[in-house]
Amino acid sequence: ALGARLRLLVLVTSAPAHAAARDAVRLTWGHYAARADVALAFVLGAPPDALRPALAAEDAMYGDLVVGRSIDSYSNLTLKTLSMLEWADTYCPRAPRLLKTDDDMFINIPRLLEFAAAPGRANATRTIWGKVVRRSLPKRTTKSKYYLSPLQYPARVLPDFATGPAYLLTADCVAPLLAAAPRERYVRLEDVFVTGVLAARLGLRRQHAPEFYNKKVAPHPCAVQRGLAIHMVRYHEQFDLWRKLLDGKTKCAS
């Protein structure tokens, strides 16, 4: 109950219209949710009325959609991530590890389970692992996708943060992050706000793990098998990466 039997809870942020991306995840790396110790769900913002029947049918078939109340948009990604944390805290608080990721990611679940169970990590507390960016400067150009106004974020340097495509949290991070969120000035960049501003306020460790590529990589079997998280994967590319993950012929240096 409440995730006690799990080793890993995977929550995938997705847009309501991204049904094909969700199907591709279910048919490839999301298939590991069939294991008793792994669970996976997709977290969506509030859909437009036109999509509600299709989403209801999708959820009736798979039972893996979590639909939030905020409008689904890039500027509301922080709200979507907070609703994800709220769901995890309510329904799966005893799952020891939570992976936050996106529907355009390829996740190596077996390698991630090994990563989480490794000495020095298995008993870790109050820790976030991922691609950690240190001493980055806020983008002040209004044309930038990552623009932060001085009013929204007045400091000259961003706190260290784990980039948003994928990061792994210990369970004891979730409730404190939720509790701290209303006390901080809202930042629309969810990774900066959750794993940077809130995590820094709470004194949570952010540990860089190079296996979280969180970028597009050459689709060689060894790169796929060594990595934990590959970004910018179109839904039809998931199947190619899945084949390469399961490739038993290519010999890769360990």
What's the pLDDT tens digit per position in 177-234? 999 999 999 999 999 999 999 999 999 999 999 999 999 988 789 889 999 999 999 9
- Longest CA–CA separation in the chain, Å: 55
Rounded CA separation 101/10 (Å): 7
- pLDDT at residue 254 is higher than 80: no
Tokens (6 digits) for 190: 């969810």
Q: Are 44 and 16 in contact (CB under 8 A)?
A: yes
171 contact partners, CB below 8 Å, separation of at least 6: 93, 94, 95, 96, 97, 98
- pLDDT at residue 75 is higher than 90: no
- pLDDT at residue 253 is higher than 80: no
Mean local confidence (pLDDT), 35-56 = 97
Q: How confident is the model at residue 29 (pLDDT cuts 50, 70, 90)?
A: very high
Mean local confidence (pLDDT), 86-105 = 97
Fold of the CATH domain 8-132+164-245: Spore Coat Polysaccharide Biosynthesis Protein SpsA; Chain A (3.90.550)
Would you state the torsion angle of the CA atoms of residues 120, 87, 45, 228, taken in this order, to the nearest 10 degrees? 20
Domain limits, the chain: 8-132+164-245
Q: What is the pLDDT of residue 21?
A: 98
Rounded CA separation 42/143 (Å): 30
CA angle 180/131/234 to nearest 5° reads 105
Q: Are 41 and 66 in contact (CB under 8 A)?
A: yes
Q: Are 105 and 28 in contact (CB under 8 A)?
A: no
Mean local confidence (pLDDT), 225-244 = 94
What's the pLDDT tens digit per position in 129-183? 999 999 999 999 999 999 999 999 999 999 999 999 999 999 999 999 999 999 9
Q: What is the pLDDT of residue 220?
A: 85
User: To the nearest whole number, what is the mean pLDDT of the chain?
Assistant: 95
DSSP for 105-159 reads -EE-HHHHHHHHHSTTTTT--SEEEEEEE-SPPPB--TTSTTB--TTT--SSSPP
